[in-house]
Structure 1
Amino acid sequence: MAKDHGPSIANDEQYEALRADGMSKEKAARIANTPDASEKGGAASPYEEWTKVELYERAQELEIDGRSDMTKDELISALRED
């Protein structure tokens, strides 16, 4: 049974599984708090097919530092590292 992480984590079981896989606390919490996250997997197109504006907006959502000075390739790398 998953530990109760309180109201800050919506899906404790998923959070613990992501942490066990080595994911950061912040990223695991973001995913575990996304409604129907497990159902959405694989639906997005590869970042290479996104426009630079779309990549920038996603980097903005994730609060990636330095995004305004990044090229499309740098944005892709930063998004994959997050």
Structure 2
Amino acid sequence: MAGEKKDDPGPSVKDPELYEKLRDEGNSKEKSARIANAAAASSRSEVGQKGGSSPAYEDWTVEELRGRAAELEVEGRSSMTKDELIEALREH
């Protein structure tokens, strides 16, 4: 379609400008859409302050990391090292 960007997020993304910025930074389409929509629902400055606190992935056990990776359906998680699991979870 004429005038559409290659990575056009479609009508479900509420803040296309932020979505494109996040995609340019290397974030996945899913993660970018989630953040852009959360920012549109409140304000961009509040998005990073929402939610509870959680220890850094480095403080998690490999078993805990694999459990979280299973929830997110990360492929190949059973053979990943702790560092690989952390990277995969951060990229998801």
Q: State the TM-score, normalized to the length of structure 1.
A: 0.60
Instruction: Provide the aligned length of Structure 1 versus Structure 2.
Output: 72
Deviation at 1:66, TM superposition (A): 0.2
More helix by share: 1
Change (3 A) 1:29 1:76: same
Identity %: 47
Is 1:20 the counterpart of 2:24 in the alignment?
Answer: no
Aligned to 2:6: none
Change (3 A) 1:59 1:48: same
Pairs within 5 Å for 1:2-81: 5-6=11-12, 9=13, 12-13=14-15, 16-21=17-22, 22=24, 23-31=27-35, 32=37, 38=47, 39-40=50-51, 43-81=53-91
Report Cα offsets for 1:22-58 as digits up to 9, x if no partner: 233222234436x9882128x3221111122221122
Q: Judge conservation of contact 1:19–1:25 (CA < 8 Å) in 2.
A: no
Cα-Cα RMSD: 3.1
**Runs ≥4 residues deviating over 2 A:** 21-24, 29-33
Gaps in structure 1 of 5+ consecutive residues:
none
Tell me how far apart the structure 1 counterparts of residues 75 and 33 of structure 2 sit (CA, whole Å). Answer: 19
Q: State the TM-score, normalized to the length of structure 2.
A: 0.55
Instruction: Pick the structure with greater CA Rg.
Output: 2
Gaps in structure 2 of 5+ consecutive residues:
1-9
